[in-house]
């Protein structure tokens, strides 16, 4: 049980959430995860961290300041990401999941982890 | 139908306050007896001035007669009686499009879509068939001479948008920072490859094609969508930035409008 287990458990309890991960922001390596789907968490972590890095870089390029919540929406699912300089919190959810609630929980979790 | 028209006419003669004037006026309209249909509808309205169906019926008749402004006024009345009435909004959009008031037409159609009308594309098609050209194509054609202005008329003052190719190079639009500097090339370069990464992520997760990416920053909310897969934009992005207090639910329609505009512009590109 890591320092992040409670946060990940809170997120996974949200309706439609299939997985939650804490990822190292710099290299995309998973620090802890709670996955309820049969995918490779390492790859999800790497892809999510990379997407978030690109978002942060483009925000900096445009002078938009720090980056907060990020969401990738696909045909049947969503990838939600929030993070800071060191760690990134990732949630994999179904399309039907309440993204508003997930966003609020992730913002809370990010504050708790900061 | 002739029998029904006779029956309804008889019933209306017996009881002038009967609501049977509604199907009667519609039947006459369909038969092309527009003046008679109009008389029946107007008389019905005299007895039922607050009946939205009666105003809607008269609006359809006036539209068929070519009296577009009267039709618009009747649909406007329907909206006053039943706020959010999708049929009335679509009718008003049709009138505005016919009158060449394209901005208003599109705004009304978006409003109808906002009311949950999933059939809005059919309404768009109807408007397109009647005019022979899409609104997006009209505006995209006008703006084609200056790609920087491609999205200008569909964005508010605090919004900005660009279209990038797969390498992050700017195809159209402008991206202004808070100090008024166009940072489109910088943003494009930093977002280069996002489309590929989104594709990889969604493929790995088995969640279908990606539709949009949104991220919140201190100064703006940035939304991304795949660029239309034609005209050299395949694998590229549409990027829209809005004020940070923009309701998140409003971003998808705005993004869709920018994608439609980009699509029309690419279709027209030489």
CB atoms inside a 10 Å sphere around CB A29: 12
Q: What is the pLDDT of residues A64-112, one digit of tens each?
A: 889 999 999 999 999 999 987 889 999 999 999 999 999 999 999 888 8
Q: Which of B24-38, B126-140, B202-216 has the lowest mean pLDDT?
A: B126-140
Task: Write out the residue range of the structural domain in which residue A92 sits.
Answer: 5-113
CA distance B209 to B227: 13
Contact A70 B219 (CB under 8 A): no
Q: How confident is residue B23, by pLDDT bands cut at 50, 70 and 90?
A: very high
Set of chain B residues whose Cβ sits within 8 Å of the Cβ of A39 = 204-206
For the domain that residue A15 is a member of, what is the CATH number?
3.30.450.30
Q: What is the pLDDT of residues B208-266, one digit of tens each?
A: 999 999 999 998 899 999 998 766 778 889 999 998 888 888 888 889 888 888 887 77
- With a cut of 60, say whether residue B128 has pLDDT above it: no
Chosen for mutation from B217, B225, B247 (greatest number of chain A CBs closer than 10 Å) is B217
Q: Which residues contact B165 (CB under 8 A, 6 or more apart)?
A: B171, B227, B232, B233, B235, B236
What's this model's pTM, rounded to 2 decimal places?
Answer: 0.62
**pLDDT confidence of residue A49:** 93
Domains and CATH numbers, chain B: 2-133 (1.25.40.10), 139-268 (3.30.450.30)
CA distance B227 to A104: 30
Q: Which of B235, B241, B237, B214 is nearest to B225 (CA)?
A: B237
Please tell me the distance in Å from B52's CA to the nearest CA on chain A: 36
Contact A73 B212 (CB under 8 A): yes
| Residue scoring higher pLDDT (B148 or B2) | B148
ipTM of the complex: 0.91
Number of domains present in the structure of chain A: 1
CA distance A5 to A50: 23
Q: What is the pLDDT of residues B32-48, one digit of tens each?
A: 888 999 999 999 999 99
Query: CA of B121: how far to CAs of B5, B51, B251, in Å?
Result: 34, 28, 19
């Amino acid at each position: 049980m890591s320092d992040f287990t409670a946060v990940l458990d809170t997120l996974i309890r949200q309706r439609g959430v299939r997985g939650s991960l804490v990822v190292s922001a710099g290299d995309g390596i998973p620090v802890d995860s709670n996955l309820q789907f049969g995918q490779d968490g390492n790859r999800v972590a790497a892809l999510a961290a990379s997407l978030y890095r690109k978002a942060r870089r483009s925000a900096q390029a445009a002078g938009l300041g720090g980056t907060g919540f990020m969401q990738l929406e696909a045909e049947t699912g969503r990838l939600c990401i929030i993070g800071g300089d060191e760690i990134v919190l990732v949630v994999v959810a179904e399309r039907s999941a309440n993204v508003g609630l997930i966003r609020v929980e992730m913002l809370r979790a990010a504050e708790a982890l900061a | 139908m002739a029998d029904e028209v006779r029956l309804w006419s008889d019933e209306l003669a017996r009881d002038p306050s009967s609501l049977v004037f509604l199907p009667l006026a519609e039947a006459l309209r369909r038969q092309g007896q527009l003046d008679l249909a109009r008389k029946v509808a107007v008389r019905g309205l005299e007895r039922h001035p607050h009946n939205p169906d009666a105003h809607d019926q008269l609006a359809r008749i006036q539209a068929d007669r070519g009296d577009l402004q009267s039709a618009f006024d009747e649909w406007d009345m329907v909206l006053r009686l039943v706020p959010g009435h999708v049929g009335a909004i679509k009718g008003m959009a049709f009138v505005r499009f016919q009158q060449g008031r394209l901005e208003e037409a599109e705004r009304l159609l978006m409003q109808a879509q906002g009311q949950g009308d999933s059939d809005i594309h059919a309404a768009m098609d109807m408007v397109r068939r009647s005019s022979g050209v899409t609104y997006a194509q009209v505006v995209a054609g006008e703006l084609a001479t200056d790609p920087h202005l491609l999205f200008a008329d569909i964005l508010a003052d605090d919004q900005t948008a660009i279209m990038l190719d797969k390498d992050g190079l700017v195809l159209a639009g402008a991206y202004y920072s808070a100090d008024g500097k166009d940072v489109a090339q910088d943003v494009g370069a930093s977002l280069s490859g996002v489309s590929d990464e989104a594709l990889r992520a969604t493929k790995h997760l088995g969640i279908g094609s990606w539709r949009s990416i949104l991220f919140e920053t201190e100064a703006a909310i940035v939304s991304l969508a795949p660029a239309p897969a034609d005209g050299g934009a395949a694998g590229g992005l549409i990027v829209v930035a809005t004020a940070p207090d923009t309701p998140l639910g409003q971003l998808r329609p705005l993004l869709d409008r920018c994608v439609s505009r980009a699509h029309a512009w690419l279709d027209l590109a030489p």
